[in-house]
Amino acid sequence: MNDFIIRAAQVPAPCELLNYLDNGAGVIECFNPTGELHEASWDQNQSVVFYEWGRSTRGVECWHTNRELVVRVPKLSSPEDYSIAFAILEFASQSAQDKTVRTNFKPSKFSVDELPSKIDERWILEDHCAAIATLFDQVLLDERGDYLPDNDRGVVSLYAPVRDFFLGNMIVTRLLLSYQPDTPARMLELVHFVFELIRYVQYPERLEMKTATLLTLENGGTAAFVDGEHHTFVPHADCIYLNDHARGCWAALPAEHVKEQFMAHFREPEQMVFYDEFQFAVQPIPELTYRAFVKAVAPLCQSVNIMPSSVLRDAGVIHAID
């Protein structure tokens, strides 16, 4: 995390920051990741995440403490995120006496006016490259720096504005084979592709995909409803909810079987694409193919209870729990 801290006589409220950042364009959004958003003031322990819809990869988190505004830019934040962070600091500096920005990295102190020169494209790219190397090592290596067997490699979760991005062995291996980042130019290509993967997970609407409806299970988990009728983005869930036409019921395929079974049954190019370790997009599935898939995975499926809600009614599956 890269933190920028500025002391101001009057720290702008979240709504003021949003109005300044968006200026009526309707592309900058904000939310409180820990609870209700109080736009008119900085409530105690409230933080606010600002992001640009369709472009931000990680968003920019802000909070206010002791007349100081902390602006946090996570690792692998897109250029749009850095632009948001710089704009917030510039706006807050209007009520600051010396416009000094403190950081938790080097350079540790400089003026707001020096932002473009101190945190330039080269600095940001080097920070991205270091973050990629660290994340890949977390997935591939053990504590001694030795390569782990494929089955023992972990998954790193990256917080993002709309939904988390999961980096694991499948995606890391694909990236290393595709880009072989042994030169600065190849590393830059890899970084940009990681950004696009994160954006696909955040904003599937950009690719004209329908996001699978997430249903709440009685045990507190979630099920992603996949009907096979649309080009669908399937977010991470505890299971995939399928319509078992043959038996006249509903089948829940647990998450641990989803990747293996979907990849085994939908092998044609572009029919199914994984954007991270768990989340994927699937093209419309012909009815006979869908029925055959549900029949094939039936032995792996479990019985689950869905919580009644308006979401179920909107998804057209309310009769499943009547």
Residue 201 above 70 pLDDT?
A: yes
> Model confidence over 304-316: pLDDT tens digits?
777 765 455 444 4
What pLDDT score was predicted for residue 316? 46
What pLDDT score was predicted for residue 152? 83
What pLDDT score was predicted for residue 311? 52
Residue matched to tokens 């009728």 = 229
- Where is mean pLDDT largest: 70-74, 138-142, 213-217, 249-253? 70-74
Residue 94 above 90 pLDDT?
A: no
Residue 189 above 80 pLDDT?
A: yes
pLDDT band at 97 (very low <50, low <70, confident <90, very high): confident
Mean pLDDT over residues 153-182, rounded?
91
Task: Enumerate residues 6+ apart whose C-beta is below 8 A from 82.
Answer: 73, 119, 124
- CA torsion sign for 131, 135, 137, 143 is positive
Residue 273 above 60 pLDDT?
A: yes
- Region for residue 142 given its phi and psi (left: phi exceeds 0; alpha: psi -120 to 50; beta: otherwise): beta
What stretches of 75-183 show up as alpha helix (H) in DSSP?
79-92, 115-118, 121-140, 169-179
Residue 13 above 90 pLDDT?
A: no
What pLDDT score was predicted for residue 204? 94
pTM, 2 dp: 0.88
Return the higher-pLDDT residue of 232 and 1: 232
What one-letter code names the amino acid at 272?
M
**Neighbouring C-alpha atoms within 13 Å toward the C-beta of 211:** 16
Residue 293 above 80 pLDDT?
A: yes
Among candidates 13, 8, 14, 12, which has minimal Cα distance to 67? Answer: 8
Domain residue limits, the chain: 2-117, 123-202, 210-320
